[in-house]
Amino acid sequence: MSEARGQGKGSGGAGEGRRVGRRLAEWVSVALSAALILGLAVFLVYEGLTGSRGSVVPEVRALPDRAEQHGDVWVLPVRVKNQGRQMLGDLGVELRYTPPGAPQPERVEATIDYLGKRSEQEVYFYVPGDPRGMSIEARALHFQVK
């Protein structure tokens, strides 16, 4: 046994090298862990300060330049964008248009069952004449945040 102890003492340089390497590895892992935790904390604070508060009202826009005639009717696309961070459900879309010579605007509605966060969808409405010559207004009526 005394020989084994003597051999350990004789190779003390190798043992010291292992300890220094182990200490270095410990410091590197502590530094990486601290950097990851600090990065996560900064990200969470940033998101908390700049994140949207509440819901964003969806953007609804009629696209009369993309309307197409099909027989006696025109198909008018309406783009609906959800720029919020939450999914919207049961989104009601209203289109009001005034045909030339009509005393009052006509009104039609459509419902989008599901509109994902930061996404868009097009809804198509039938109108009796060329929508490029009409006064057109599209808007969101109601929605649920899911």
pLDDT digits (tens, 9 = 90+) for 81-96: 998 888 999 999 999 9
Q: Which of 111, 54, 116, 48 is nearest to 82 (CA)?
A: 116
Compute the radius of gyration of the chain from its Cα atoms.
Answer: 33
- Give the chain's residues under pLDDT 50: 2, 4-6, 8, 10
Q: Which of 95, 114, 122 is nearest to 106 (CA)?
A: 95
Give me the percent of the chain exceeding a pLDDT of 70: 86
Give the angle 77-83-88 at the CA atoms, nearest 5°. 80
